[in-house]
Structure 1
Amino acid sequence: MQEFTDANRANWDERAGLHAARNGSGYDVGRYIQDPALLSEVVRFDVPRLGDIEGTRAVHLQCHIGTDTISLARLGARVTGLDFSSVAVAEARALAADAGDDVDFVESDVYAAADVLERGTFDLVYTGVGALCWLPSVSRWARVVAELLAPGGRLFIRESHPIVWAVDERIEGDIHLRFPYFETAEPLPWDEEESYVEVDRPLTATRTYSWNHGLGEIVTAVMDAGLTLTGLTEHDSLPWQAYPGQMIERPGGEWALDRLAGVMPLSYTLQAVKPG
Protein backbone atom coordinates (compact mmCIF):
# COMPACT_ATOMS: atom_id res chain seq x y z
CA MET A 1 0.00 0.00 0.00
CA GLN A 2 2.87 2.38 0.75
CA GLU A 3 4.08 2.24 -2.84
CA PHE A 4 0.66 3.47 -4.01
CA THR A 5 0.70 6.34 -1.50
CA ASP A 6 4.25 7.31 -2.43
CA ALA A 7 3.44 7.38 -6.16
CA ASN A 8 0.29 9.43 -5.59
CA ARG A 9 2.14 11.87 -3.35
CA ALA A 10 4.87 12.39 -5.95
CA ASN A 11 2.19 13.08 -8.56
CA TRP A 12 0.33 15.54 -6.35
CA ASP A 13 3.54 17.27 -5.26
CA GLU A 14 4.21 18.00 -8.90
CA ARG A 15 0.63 18.97 -9.68
CA ALA A 16 0.55 21.35 -6.72
CA GLY A 17 3.44 23.40 -8.06
CA LEU A 18 1.91 23.54 -11.54
CA HIS A 19 -1.62 24.26 -10.31
CA ALA A 20 -0.39 27.12 -8.11
CA ALA A 21 1.48 28.93 -10.93
CA ARG A 22 1.02 32.69 -10.86
CA ASN A 23 1.00 33.10 -14.66
CA GLY A 24 -2.68 32.37 -15.25
CA SER A 25 -2.29 28.64 -15.86
CA GLY A 26 -3.30 25.89 -13.45
CA TYR A 27 -5.92 27.18 -11.02
CA ASP A 28 -5.21 30.81 -11.99
CA VAL A 29 -4.63 31.54 -8.31
CA GLY A 30 -3.85 35.20 -8.92
CA ARG A 31 -7.61 35.76 -9.04
CA TYR A 32 -7.84 35.10 -5.30
CA ILE A 33 -5.19 37.71 -4.60
CA GLN A 34 -6.76 40.30 -6.86
CA ASP A 35 -10.33 39.76 -5.64
CA PRO A 36 -10.64 39.25 -1.84
CA ALA A 37 -14.30 38.22 -2.22
CA LEU A 38 -13.75 35.56 -4.89
CA LEU A 39 -15.02 32.05 -4.15
CA SER A 40 -13.90 28.93 -5.97
CA GLU A 41 -16.33 27.51 -8.49
CA VAL A 42 -16.71 24.37 -6.39
CA VAL A 43 -17.65 26.19 -3.19
CA ARG A 44 -19.81 28.75 -4.96
CA PHE A 45 -21.89 25.96 -6.51
CA ASP A 46 -22.80 24.63 -3.07
CA VAL A 47 -23.36 27.89 -1.18
CA PRO A 48 -27.15 27.29 -1.11
CA ARG A 49 -26.57 23.88 0.52
CA LEU A 50 -23.72 25.01 2.80
CA GLY A 51 -25.88 27.75 4.27
CA ASP A 52 -24.51 30.12 6.89
CA ILE A 53 -21.13 28.88 8.17
CA GLU A 54 -20.11 32.17 9.79
CA GLY A 55 -18.08 31.47 12.93
CA THR A 56 -17.99 27.69 12.53
CA ARG A 57 -14.80 25.74 13.09
CA ALA A 58 -14.15 23.81 9.88
CA VAL A 59 -11.57 21.41 8.49
CA HIS A 60 -11.10 20.81 4.77
CA LEU A 61 -9.67 17.34 4.19
CA GLN A 62 -7.46 16.77 1.14
CA CYS A 63 -7.37 20.51 0.52
CA HIS A 64 -4.71 20.56 -2.25
CA ILE A 65 -3.50 24.16 -2.81
CA GLY A 66 -6.26 25.67 -0.72
CA THR A 67 -8.56 27.50 -3.12
CA ASP A 68 -11.68 25.84 -1.69
CA THR A 69 -10.27 26.20 1.84
CA ILE A 70 -9.80 29.94 1.38
CA SER A 71 -13.30 30.15 -0.05
CA LEU A 72 -14.77 28.57 3.09
CA ALA A 73 -12.86 31.12 5.16
CA ARG A 74 -14.31 33.90 3.03
CA LEU A 75 -17.76 32.61 3.96
CA GLY A 76 -16.87 33.24 7.59
CA ALA A 77 -15.59 29.87 8.83
CA ARG A 78 -12.42 29.39 10.87
CA VAL A 79 -10.76 26.84 8.62
CA THR A 80 -7.91 24.36 8.77
CA GLY A 81 -6.85 22.71 5.51
CA LEU A 82 -5.15 19.31 5.56
CA ASP A 83 -3.26 17.59 2.76
CA PHE A 84 -0.63 14.85 2.44
CA SER A 85 1.47 16.82 -0.07
CA SER A 86 4.11 19.08 1.47
CA VAL A 87 4.24 21.07 -1.77
CA ALA A 88 0.47 21.60 -1.75
CA VAL A 89 0.54 22.76 1.87
CA ALA A 90 3.39 25.19 1.15
CA GLU A 91 1.56 26.58 -1.89
CA ALA A 92 -1.68 26.88 0.08
CA ARG A 93 0.05 28.79 2.87
CA ALA A 94 1.68 31.12 0.36
CA LEU A 95 -1.59 31.78 -1.44
CA ALA A 96 -3.49 32.47 1.79
CA ALA A 97 -0.75 34.85 2.95
CA ASP A 98 -0.65 36.74 -0.35
CA ALA A 99 -4.45 36.92 -0.50
CA GLY A 100 -4.72 38.08 3.11
CA ASP A 101 -6.86 35.15 4.30
CA ASP A 102 -6.49 33.72 7.81
CA VAL A 103 -6.34 29.96 7.21
CA ASP A 104 -4.25 27.23 8.86
CA PHE A 105 -2.78 24.40 6.82
CA VAL A 106 -1.49 21.07 8.14
CA GLU A 107 0.50 18.38 6.33
CA SER A 108 -0.87 14.92 7.04
CA ASP A 109 -2.29 11.80 5.47
CA VAL A 110 -6.07 12.05 5.74
CA TYR A 111 -6.27 8.80 7.69
CA ALA A 112 -4.08 10.39 10.40
CA ALA A 113 -6.14 13.60 10.58
CA ALA A 114 -7.61 12.76 13.98
CA ASP A 115 -4.07 12.26 15.33
CA VAL A 116 -2.75 15.67 14.25
CA LEU A 117 -5.91 17.73 14.80
CA GLU A 118 -8.04 18.15 17.90
CA ARG A 119 -10.65 15.41 17.94
CA GLY A 120 -14.30 16.15 18.44
CA THR A 121 -14.00 19.90 17.94
CA PHE A 122 -15.04 20.66 14.36
CA ASP A 123 -18.47 22.00 13.44
CA LEU A 124 -17.86 21.21 9.77
CA VAL A 125 -15.78 18.60 7.96
CA TYR A 126 -15.63 19.51 4.27
CA THR A 127 -14.38 17.43 1.34
CA GLY A 128 -14.37 18.70 -2.24
CA VAL A 129 -14.36 17.22 -5.72
CA GLY A 130 -11.78 14.57 -6.60
CA ALA A 131 -10.78 13.45 -3.10
CA LEU A 132 -12.32 10.10 -2.22
CA CYS A 133 -10.97 8.29 -5.30
CA TRP A 134 -7.45 8.46 -3.83
CA LEU A 135 -8.42 6.53 -0.69
CA PRO A 136 -8.41 2.71 -0.55
CA SER A 137 -11.07 2.49 2.18
CA VAL A 138 -14.07 4.80 2.42
CA SER A 139 -15.11 3.20 5.74
CA ARG A 140 -11.81 4.13 7.35
CA TRP A 141 -12.20 7.68 6.03
CA ALA A 142 -15.72 7.96 7.46
CA ARG A 143 -14.48 6.90 10.90
CA VAL A 144 -11.87 9.67 10.79
CA VAL A 145 -14.58 12.20 9.90
CA ALA A 146 -16.68 11.05 12.86
CA GLU A 147 -13.69 11.42 15.19
CA LEU A 148 -13.07 15.00 14.04
CA LEU A 149 -16.65 16.21 14.35
CA ALA A 150 -18.03 17.77 17.49
CA PRO A 151 -21.47 16.57 18.63
CA GLY A 152 -23.94 18.23 16.28
CA GLY A 153 -21.18 18.85 13.73
CA ARG A 154 -21.74 18.33 10.02
CA LEU A 155 -20.02 16.45 7.20
CA PHE A 156 -20.32 18.11 3.79
CA ILE A 157 -19.13 16.41 0.61
CA ARG A 158 -19.28 17.60 -2.99
CA GLU A 159 -17.79 14.86 -5.12
CA SER A 160 -17.71 13.44 -8.60
CA HIS A 161 -20.27 10.65 -8.82
CA PRO A 162 -18.77 7.14 -8.67
CA ILE A 163 -20.38 6.34 -12.02
CA VAL A 164 -18.06 8.96 -13.53
CA TRP A 165 -15.00 7.02 -12.36
CA ALA A 166 -16.41 3.81 -13.90
CA VAL A 167 -16.44 5.35 -17.39
CA ASP A 168 -13.44 5.09 -19.72
CA GLU A 169 -13.28 8.60 -21.19
CA ARG A 170 -10.57 7.55 -23.65
CA ILE A 171 -13.20 5.80 -25.78
CA GLU A 172 -14.80 8.50 -27.90
CA GLY A 173 -18.35 8.96 -29.11
CA ASP A 174 -20.36 7.56 -26.21
CA ILE A 175 -20.33 6.67 -22.52
CA HIS A 176 -18.51 3.36 -21.99
CA LEU A 177 -18.52 1.67 -18.58
CA ARG A 178 -15.19 -0.13 -18.25
CA PHE A 179 -13.90 0.30 -14.68
CA PRO A 180 -15.13 -0.94 -11.27
CA TYR A 181 -18.00 0.98 -9.73
CA PHE A 182 -17.53 -0.65 -6.32
CA GLU A 183 -14.57 -0.48 -3.97
CA THR A 184 -11.87 -3.05 -4.76
CA ALA A 185 -8.86 -4.22 -2.78
CA GLU A 186 -6.46 -3.47 -5.61
CA PRO A 187 -6.31 0.04 -7.13
CA LEU A 188 -6.60 1.04 -10.74
CA PRO A 189 -3.17 2.07 -12.09
CA TRP A 190 -2.89 5.13 -14.31
CA ASP A 191 -0.01 6.63 -16.26
CA GLU A 192 -0.83 10.10 -17.57
CA GLU A 193 1.18 13.20 -18.40
CA GLU A 194 -1.83 15.55 -18.35
CA SER A 195 -3.53 17.19 -15.41
CA TYR A 196 -7.22 18.09 -15.33
CA VAL A 197 -6.46 21.80 -15.82
CA GLU A 198 -4.13 23.49 -18.28
CA VAL A 199 -0.54 23.53 -16.99
CA ASP A 200 2.79 24.72 -18.34
CA ARG A 201 4.31 21.33 -19.06
CA PRO A 202 3.57 17.60 -18.95
CA LEU A 203 3.84 15.80 -15.64
CA THR A 204 6.91 13.68 -15.01
CA ALA A 205 5.55 11.79 -11.96
CA THR A 206 2.89 10.19 -14.13
CA ARG A 207 2.05 7.01 -12.22
CA THR A 208 -0.99 7.11 -9.91
CA TYR A 209 -3.36 4.66 -8.25
CA SER A 210 -7.05 5.18 -7.48
CA TRP A 211 -10.04 3.39 -5.98
CA ASN A 212 -13.72 3.85 -6.72
CA HIS A 213 -16.42 3.73 -4.04
CA GLY A 214 -20.06 3.15 -4.93
CA LEU A 215 -22.57 5.69 -3.67
CA GLY A 216 -24.20 3.05 -1.49
CA GLU A 217 -20.81 2.18 0.00
CA ILE A 218 -20.17 5.84 0.81
CA VAL A 219 -23.58 6.33 2.43
CA THR A 220 -23.24 3.09 4.40
CA ALA A 221 -19.73 4.02 5.59
CA VAL A 222 -20.98 7.39 6.84
CA MET A 223 -23.90 5.78 8.69
CA ASP A 224 -21.74 2.96 10.11
CA ALA A 225 -19.43 5.65 11.52
CA GLY A 226 -22.35 6.88 13.61
CA LEU A 227 -23.39 9.86 11.52
CA THR A 228 -26.96 10.63 10.50
CA LEU A 229 -27.56 11.30 6.81
CA THR A 230 -29.37 14.61 6.30
CA GLY A 231 -29.06 15.21 2.58
CA LEU A 232 -28.04 13.57 -0.68
CA THR A 233 -28.41 15.43 -3.97
CA GLU A 234 -27.21 14.11 -7.33
CA HIS A 235 -26.26 16.70 -9.97
CA ASP A 236 -26.11 16.59 -13.78
CA SER A 237 -22.86 18.58 -13.84
CA LEU A 238 -19.39 18.66 -12.34
CA PRO A 239 -16.62 21.28 -12.27
CA TRP A 240 -14.31 19.75 -14.86
CA GLN A 241 -14.57 18.38 -18.38
CA ALA A 242 -14.67 14.66 -17.68
CA TYR A 243 -15.50 13.63 -21.26
CA PRO A 244 -13.83 15.87 -23.85
CA GLY A 245 -15.99 16.42 -26.90
CA GLN A 246 -19.16 15.23 -25.17
CA MET A 247 -19.78 18.09 -22.75
CA ILE A 248 -20.86 21.71 -22.68
CA GLU A 249 -19.67 24.33 -20.23
CA ARG A 250 -22.22 26.11 -18.12
CA PRO A 251 -21.80 29.49 -16.40
CA GLY A 252 -19.86 29.18 -13.17
CA GLY A 253 -17.37 26.57 -14.35
CA GLU A 254 -19.71 23.54 -14.38
CA TRP A 255 -19.69 20.98 -17.21
CA ALA A 256 -22.69 18.89 -18.31
CA LEU A 257 -23.24 16.21 -20.93
CA ASP A 258 -24.32 17.58 -24.30
CA ARG A 259 -25.91 14.99 -26.62
CA LEU A 260 -26.39 12.54 -23.74
CA ALA A 261 -27.76 15.09 -21.27
CA GLY A 262 -29.51 13.46 -18.33
CA VAL A 263 -28.43 9.87 -18.88
CA MET A 264 -26.31 9.74 -15.71
CA PRO A 265 -25.48 11.78 -12.60
CA LEU A 266 -22.09 13.49 -12.70
CA SER A 267 -21.62 14.63 -9.12
CA TYR A 268 -23.37 14.62 -5.77
CA THR A 269 -23.60 16.56 -2.53
CA LEU A 270 -23.87 14.54 0.68
CA GLN A 271 -24.48 15.88 4.16
CA ALA A 272 -24.56 14.11 7.53
CA VAL A 273 -24.45 15.14 11.18
CA LYS A 274 -22.90 13.66 14.29
CA PRO A 275 -25.65 13.12 16.87
CA GLY A 276 -25.40 15.57 19.73
Structure 2
Amino acid sequence: MTDSMELNRRSWDERAPLHAESVDYEVEQFIAHPQHLSAVVRFDVPRLGDIRGLRTVHLQCHIGTDTLSLARLGAEVCGLDYSSQSLAQARRLAERCGAKIDFVESDVYAADQVLTPGSFDMVYTGIGALCWLPSIEPWARTVAALLKPGGRLFLREGHPMLLAVNEDYQDRLVIEYPYFERQAPLVWGSDQTYVETATPLFHTVTHEWNHGLGEVITALLGHGLQITALVEHDSIPWEALPGQMSKNAQGEWALDKERWRLPLSYTLQAMKRG
Protein backbone atom coordinates (compact mmCIF):
# COMPACT_ATOMS: atom_id res chain seq x y z
CA MET A 1 0.00 0.00 0.00
CA THR A 2 1.39 3.40 -0.98
CA ASP A 3 1.89 6.20 1.54
CA SER A 4 -1.02 8.07 -0.06
CA MET A 5 -3.38 5.12 0.25
CA GLU A 6 -2.36 4.59 3.87
CA LEU A 7 -3.02 8.28 4.52
CA ASN A 8 -6.48 7.90 3.02
CA ARG A 9 -7.16 4.66 4.90
CA ARG A 10 -6.65 6.43 8.22
CA SER A 11 -9.14 9.08 7.11
CA TRP A 12 -11.73 6.45 6.17
CA ASP A 13 -11.26 4.67 9.49
CA GLU A 14 -12.10 7.93 11.22
CA ARG A 15 -15.03 8.78 8.97
CA ALA A 16 -16.75 5.39 9.11
CA PRO A 17 -18.58 5.75 12.45
CA LEU A 18 -19.54 9.34 11.60
CA HIS A 19 -21.06 8.16 8.32
CA ALA A 20 -22.92 5.31 10.03
CA GLU A 21 -24.45 7.81 12.48
CA SER A 22 -25.41 10.27 9.73
CA VAL A 23 -28.92 10.44 8.28
CA ASP A 24 -27.31 10.64 4.84
CA TYR A 25 -26.46 6.92 4.90
CA GLU A 26 -29.98 5.99 6.08
CA VAL A 27 -28.82 3.17 8.38
CA GLU A 28 -32.02 3.26 10.46
CA GLN A 29 -34.14 3.12 7.31
CA PHE A 30 -32.30 -0.02 6.21
CA ILE A 31 -33.02 -1.60 9.58
CA ALA A 32 -36.68 -0.53 9.74
CA HIS A 33 -37.60 -1.31 6.12
CA PRO A 34 -36.40 -4.67 4.70
CA GLN A 35 -36.96 -3.53 1.10
CA HIS A 36 -35.06 -0.25 1.43
CA LEU A 37 -32.24 0.30 -1.08
CA SER A 38 -29.48 2.91 -1.18
CA ALA A 39 -30.14 5.80 -3.54
CA VAL A 40 -27.04 4.85 -5.53
CA VAL A 41 -28.21 1.30 -6.23
CA ARG A 42 -31.83 2.36 -6.70
CA PHE A 43 -30.77 4.77 -9.44
CA ASP A 44 -29.18 1.93 -11.43
CA VAL A 45 -31.80 -0.79 -10.90
CA PRO A 46 -32.98 -0.53 -14.53
CA ARG A 47 -29.41 -1.09 -15.75
CA LEU A 48 -28.55 -3.77 -13.19
CA GLY A 49 -31.44 -5.95 -14.28
CA ASP A 50 -32.08 -9.28 -12.58
CA ILE A 51 -29.06 -10.07 -10.38
CA ARG A 52 -30.67 -12.83 -8.31
CA GLY A 53 -28.17 -15.58 -7.52
CA LEU A 54 -25.21 -13.77 -9.06
CA ARG A 55 -22.01 -14.18 -7.07
CA THR A 56 -20.97 -10.55 -6.65
CA VAL A 57 -18.10 -8.67 -5.05
CA HIS A 58 -18.50 -5.00 -4.15
CA LEU A 59 -15.09 -3.35 -4.27
CA GLN A 60 -14.46 -0.38 -1.94
CA CYS A 61 -17.71 -1.09 -0.13
CA HIS A 62 -17.23 1.39 2.78
CA ILE A 63 -19.97 0.87 5.41
CA GLY A 64 -21.90 -1.53 3.20
CA THR A 65 -25.16 0.24 2.35
CA ASP A 66 -24.76 -0.42 -1.39
CA THR A 67 -23.54 -3.94 -0.60
CA LEU A 68 -26.66 -4.63 1.44
CA SER A 69 -28.79 -3.16 -1.34
CA LEU A 70 -27.31 -5.59 -3.87
CA ALA A 71 -28.02 -8.45 -1.47
CA ARG A 72 -31.63 -7.27 -1.16
CA LEU A 73 -31.90 -7.48 -4.94
CA GLY A 74 -30.92 -11.15 -4.68
CA ALA A 75 -27.18 -11.17 -5.33
CA GLU A 76 -24.87 -13.45 -3.33
CA VAL A 77 -22.59 -10.58 -2.41
CA CYS A 78 -19.43 -9.94 -0.45
CA GLY A 79 -17.91 -6.56 0.28
CA LEU A 80 -14.24 -5.61 0.22
CA ASP A 81 -12.59 -2.54 1.71
CA TYR A 82 -9.23 -1.59 3.22
CA SER A 83 -10.73 0.30 6.15
CA SER A 84 -11.23 -1.94 9.17
CA GLN A 85 -13.56 0.59 10.78
CA SER A 86 -15.70 0.81 7.65
CA LEU A 87 -16.00 -2.97 7.63
CA ALA A 88 -16.92 -3.00 11.32
CA GLN A 89 -19.85 -0.71 10.52
CA ALA A 90 -20.76 -2.76 7.44
CA ARG A 91 -20.82 -6.01 9.44
CA ARG A 92 -22.92 -4.38 12.16
CA LEU A 93 -25.43 -3.11 9.59
CA ALA A 94 -25.69 -6.51 7.88
CA GLU A 95 -26.18 -8.25 11.23
CA ARG A 96 -28.88 -5.81 12.34
CA CYS A 97 -30.66 -6.37 9.03
CA GLY A 98 -30.32 -10.16 9.15
CA ALA A 99 -28.31 -10.26 5.92
CA LYS A 100 -25.67 -12.89 5.26
CA ILE A 101 -22.83 -10.90 3.70
CA ASP A 102 -19.12 -11.63 3.92
CA PHE A 103 -16.85 -8.62 4.34
CA VAL A 104 -13.14 -8.87 3.55
CA GLU A 105 -10.41 -6.41 4.51
CA SER A 106 -7.98 -5.73 1.68
CA ASP A 107 -6.43 -3.12 -0.54
CA VAL A 108 -8.49 -3.25 -3.75
CA TYR A 109 -5.36 -3.90 -5.83
CA ALA A 110 -4.81 -7.13 -3.85
CA ALA A 111 -8.43 -8.32 -3.97
CA ASP A 112 -7.60 -11.33 -6.14
CA GLN A 113 -5.07 -12.45 -3.51
CA VAL A 114 -7.68 -12.68 -0.73
CA LEU A 115 -10.64 -13.75 -2.90
CA THR A 116 -10.77 -16.65 -5.35
CA PRO A 117 -9.81 -15.43 -8.83
CA GLY A 118 -12.27 -16.14 -11.63
CA SER A 119 -15.13 -16.88 -9.24
CA PHE A 120 -17.46 -13.89 -9.57
CA ASP A 121 -20.38 -13.29 -11.92
CA MET A 122 -20.28 -9.57 -11.20
CA VAL A 123 -17.85 -6.99 -9.86
CA TYR A 124 -19.64 -3.90 -8.59
CA THR A 125 -18.04 -0.53 -7.87
CA GLY A 126 -20.20 2.29 -6.55
CA ILE A 127 -19.89 6.00 -7.04
CA GLY A 128 -17.05 7.93 -5.38
CA ALA A 129 -14.54 5.06 -5.33
CA LEU A 130 -12.06 5.37 -8.19
CA CYS A 131 -10.82 8.83 -7.20
CA TRP A 132 -9.09 7.22 -4.18
CA LEU A 133 -6.91 5.00 -6.40
CA PRO A 134 -3.54 6.28 -7.69
CA SER A 135 -3.70 4.26 -10.91
CA ILE A 136 -6.61 2.81 -12.87
CA GLU A 137 -4.61 0.08 -14.63
CA PRO A 138 -4.08 -2.22 -11.60
CA TRP A 139 -7.73 -1.73 -10.69
CA ALA A 140 -8.75 -3.00 -14.14
CA ARG A 141 -6.37 -5.95 -13.73
CA THR A 142 -8.04 -6.80 -10.41
CA VAL A 143 -11.53 -6.62 -11.94
CA ALA A 144 -10.52 -8.95 -14.76
CA ALA A 145 -8.83 -11.36 -12.35
CA LEU A 146 -11.93 -11.67 -10.16
CA LEU A 147 -14.48 -12.20 -12.91
CA LYS A 148 -15.50 -15.51 -14.46
CA PRO A 149 -15.43 -15.65 -18.25
CA GLY A 150 -18.68 -14.00 -19.27
CA GLY A 151 -18.91 -12.16 -15.93
CA ARG A 152 -19.58 -8.44 -15.90
CA LEU A 153 -18.29 -5.30 -14.31
CA PHE A 154 -20.89 -2.77 -13.17
CA LEU A 155 -19.45 0.65 -12.39
CA ARG A 156 -21.12 3.93 -11.58
CA GLU A 157 -18.75 6.81 -10.95
CA GLY A 158 -18.45 10.57 -10.85
CA HIS A 159 -17.60 11.84 -14.31
CA PRO A 160 -13.95 12.89 -14.70
CA MET A 161 -15.10 16.13 -16.35
CA LEU A 162 -16.98 17.05 -13.18
CA LEU A 163 -13.96 16.16 -11.04
CA ALA A 164 -11.86 18.58 -13.08
CA VAL A 165 -14.17 21.49 -12.17
CA ASN A 166 -13.36 23.80 -9.24
CA GLU A 167 -16.43 23.72 -6.99
CA ASP A 168 -15.53 27.00 -5.28
CA TYR A 169 -17.07 29.02 -8.12
CA GLN A 170 -20.84 29.36 -7.78
CA ASP A 171 -21.62 31.35 -10.92
CA ARG A 172 -19.76 29.43 -13.65
CA LEU A 173 -18.00 26.19 -14.50
CA VAL A 174 -14.22 26.50 -14.23
CA ILE A 175 -12.02 23.57 -15.25
CA GLU A 176 -8.99 23.86 -13.01
CA TYR A 177 -7.96 20.33 -11.98
CA PRO A 178 -6.53 17.45 -14.02
CA TYR A 179 -8.85 15.43 -16.22
CA PHE A 180 -6.21 12.82 -17.02
CA GLU A 181 -4.56 10.59 -14.46
CA ARG A 182 -1.35 12.04 -13.03
CA GLN A 183 1.18 10.44 -10.73
CA ALA A 184 1.05 13.31 -8.25
CA PRO A 185 -2.19 13.37 -6.26
CA LEU A 186 -4.49 16.26 -5.62
CA VAL A 187 -3.96 17.05 -1.94
CA TRP A 188 -6.99 18.18 0.04
CA GLY A 189 -7.22 19.33 3.63
CA SER A 190 -10.40 19.62 5.69
CA ASP A 191 -11.57 18.73 9.17
CA GLN A 192 -15.04 17.92 7.80
CA THR A 193 -16.30 14.85 5.99
CA TYR A 194 -19.01 15.01 3.32
CA VAL A 195 -21.94 14.28 5.65
CA GLU A 196 -23.34 16.64 8.26
CA THR A 197 -21.63 16.03 11.60
CA ALA A 198 -20.55 18.13 14.55
CA THR A 199 -17.39 16.07 15.04
CA PRO A 200 -14.25 17.47 13.35
CA LEU A 201 -11.75 15.09 11.79
CA PHE A 202 -8.28 14.56 13.22
CA HIS A 203 -6.90 13.12 9.95
CA THR A 204 -7.56 16.14 7.78
CA VAL A 205 -5.39 15.49 4.68
CA THR A 206 -6.45 13.19 1.84
CA HIS A 207 -5.02 12.39 -1.61
CA GLU A 208 -7.15 11.91 -4.73
CA TRP A 209 -6.64 11.22 -8.44
CA ASN A 210 -8.80 11.71 -11.50
CA HIS A 211 -9.02 9.07 -14.25
CA GLY A 212 -10.19 10.10 -17.71
CA LEU A 213 -13.05 8.13 -19.21
CA GLY A 214 -10.80 6.95 -22.04
CA GLU A 215 -8.19 5.80 -19.52
CA VAL A 216 -10.77 3.69 -17.68
CA ILE A 217 -12.05 2.12 -20.90
CA THR A 218 -8.56 1.50 -22.29
CA ALA A 219 -7.44 -0.18 -19.06
CA LEU A 220 -10.46 -2.50 -19.09
CA LEU A 221 -9.97 -3.37 -22.77
CA GLY A 222 -6.32 -4.08 -22.08
CA HIS A 223 -7.27 -6.70 -19.51
CA GLY A 224 -9.68 -8.60 -21.72
CA LEU A 225 -12.99 -6.91 -20.98
CA GLN A 226 -15.48 -5.83 -23.62
CA ILE A 227 -17.46 -2.63 -23.01
CA THR A 228 -21.16 -3.47 -23.27
CA ALA A 229 -22.80 -0.25 -22.06
CA LEU A 230 -21.85 3.31 -21.23
CA VAL A 231 -24.35 5.94 -20.11
CA GLU A 232 -23.35 9.47 -19.12
CA HIS A 233 -25.72 11.16 -16.66
CA ASP A 234 -26.53 14.80 -15.96
CA SER A 235 -27.03 14.05 -12.26
CA ILE A 236 -25.04 12.80 -9.26
CA PRO A 237 -25.99 11.72 -5.71
CA TRP A 238 -24.41 14.68 -3.89
CA GLU A 239 -24.25 18.45 -4.27
CA ALA A 240 -21.00 18.43 -6.20
CA LEU A 241 -21.17 22.09 -7.23
CA PRO A 242 -22.68 24.04 -4.31
CA GLY A 243 -24.77 27.01 -5.34
CA GLN A 244 -25.32 25.71 -8.88
CA MET A 245 -27.44 22.60 -8.28
CA SER A 246 -30.82 21.42 -7.03
CA LYS A 247 -32.08 17.98 -6.03
CA ASN A 248 -34.41 16.32 -8.55
CA ALA A 249 -37.32 13.90 -8.11
CA GLN A 250 -34.92 10.93 -8.05
CA GLY A 251 -33.00 12.40 -5.13
CA GLU A 252 -30.02 13.24 -7.35
CA TRP A 253 -28.40 16.64 -7.83
CA ALA A 254 -28.39 18.36 -11.23
CA LEU A 255 -27.31 21.73 -12.58
CA ASP A 256 -29.91 24.48 -12.30
CA LYS A 257 -28.96 26.01 -15.63
CA GLU A 258 -28.13 24.41 -18.98
CA ARG A 259 -27.70 20.87 -17.73
CA TRP A 260 -26.36 19.88 -21.14
CA ARG A 261 -23.06 21.67 -20.39
CA LEU A 262 -21.50 19.01 -18.17
CA PRO A 263 -21.77 15.25 -17.56
CA LEU A 264 -21.86 14.62 -13.82
CA SER A 265 -21.62 10.84 -13.57
CA TYR A 266 -21.59 7.72 -15.71
CA THR A 267 -22.55 4.06 -15.59
CA LEU A 268 -20.24 1.65 -17.39
CA GLN A 269 -20.71 -2.08 -17.92
CA ALA A 270 -18.17 -4.50 -19.32
CA MET A 271 -17.99 -8.27 -19.85
CA LYS A 272 -14.97 -10.51 -19.42
CA ARG A 273 -14.31 -12.35 -22.65
CA GLY A 274 -14.23 -16.15 -22.58
Tell whether the structures are fold-level matches, with TM greater than 0.5. yes
* 4+ long deviations beyond 6 Å: none
* CA distance in 2 between partners of 1:205 and 1:91 (Å): 19
Do the aligned residues in 1 keep the contact of 2:246 with 2:254 (CA within 8 Å)? yes
Q: Is there any run of 5+ residues in structure 1 with no aligned partner, and where?
A: none
Per-residue deviation, 1:172: 2.5
* CA distance in 2 between partners of 1:225 and 1:33 (Å): 39
Q: Report the TM-score, using the length of structure 1 for normalisation.
A: 0.97
* CA distance in 1 between partners of 2:200 and 2:267 (Å): 32
Q: Higher mean Cα deviation, 166-175 or 114-123?
A: 166-175
Which residue pairs with 1:15 in the alignment? 15
Aligned residue identity for 2:151: G
Do the aligned residues in 1 keep the contact of 2:94 with 2:101 (CA within 8 Å)? yes
Per-residue deviation, 1:194: 2.2
Choose the corresponding residue for 2:68, options 58, 67, 70.
70
Per-residue deviation, 1:123: 0.2
Do the aligned residues in 2 keep the contact of 1:233 with 1:270 (CA within 8 Å)? yes
* CA distance in 2 between partners of 1:6 and 1:17 (Å): 18
The answer to whether the aligner puts 1:251 opposite 2:228 as a matched pair is: no
Do the aligned residues in 2 keep the contact of 1:123 with 1:153 (CA within 8 Å)? yes
Choose the corresponding residue for 2:127, options 108, 114, 129.
129
Per-residue deviation, 1:180: 0.3
Q: Equivalences for 1:213-224 in 2 at 5 Å?
A: 213-224=211-222
Do the aligned residues in 1 keep the contact of 2:87 with 2:103 (CA within 8 Å)? yes
* CA distance in 2 between partners of 1:58 and 1:174 (Å): 41
* CA distance in 2 between partners of 1:90 and 1:239 (Å): 24
Which residue pairs with 1:235 in the alignment? 233
Aligned residue identity for 1:257: L
Which residue pairs with 2:164 in the alignment? 166
Per-residue deviation, 1:3: 2.1
Q: Higher mean Cα deviation, 190-199 or 42-51?
A: 190-199
Choose the corresponding residue for 1:151, options 144, 149, 165.
149
Do the aligned residues in 2 keep the contact of 1:135 with 1:211 (CA within 8 Å)? yes
Per-residue deviation, 1:262: 1.6
Which residue pairs with 1:194 in the alignment? 192
Choose the corresponding residue for 1:47, options 19, 38, 45.
45
Per-residue deviation, 1:250: 1.1
Which residue pairs with 1:176 in the alignment? 174
* CA distance in 1 between partners of 2:121 and 2:61 (Å): 17
Aligned residue identity for 1:62: Q
RMSD of aligned Cα (Å): 1.1
* CA distance in 2 between partners of 1:175 and 1:110 (Å): 33
* CA distance in 1 between partners of 2:198 and 2:222 (Å): 43
> How many residues are treated as equivalent by the alignment?
274
User: What does the per-residue CA deviation read over 1:141-196, in whole Å, with 9 as the maximum and x for residues that have no partner?
Assistant: 00000000001100000000001110110223211111000000111100012222
Do the aligned residues in 2 keep the contact of 1:110 with 1:141 (CA within 8 Å)? yes
Do the aligned residues in 2 keep the contact of 1:26 with 1:199 (CA within 8 Å)? no
User: What does the per-residue CA deviation read over 1:196-233, in whole Å, with 9 as the maximum and x for residues that have no partner?
Assistant: 22223222211000110000000101100100110000
Aligned residue identity for 1:72: L
* CA distance in 1 between partners of 2:100 and 2:231 (Å): 31
SS of equivalent residue, structure 1 residue 189: strand
Per-residue deviation, 1:26: 4.4
Which residue pairs with 2:80 in the alignment? 82
* CA distance in 2 between partners of 1:225 and 1:200 (Å): 44
Q: Is there any run of 5+ residues in structure 2 with no aligned partner, and where?
A: none
Q: Higher mean Cα deviation, 245-254 or 62-71?
A: 245-254
Per-residue deviation, 1:101: 1.2
Aligned residue identity for 1:38: H
Per-residue deviation, 1:112: 0.5
SS of equivalent residue, structure 1 residue 262: helix
Choose the corresponding residue for 2:91, options 87, 93, 116.
93
Per-residue deviation, 1:118: 0.6
Q: Report the TM-score, using the length of structure 2 for normalisation.
A: 0.98
Which residue pairs with 1:34 in the alignment? 32
SS of equivalent residue, structure 1 residue 183: coil
Aligned residue identity for 1:33: I
Do the aligned residues in 1 keep the contact of 2:5 with 2:133 (CA within 8 Å)? no
Do the aligned residues in 2 keep the contact of 1:64 with 1:85 (CA within 8 Å)? yes
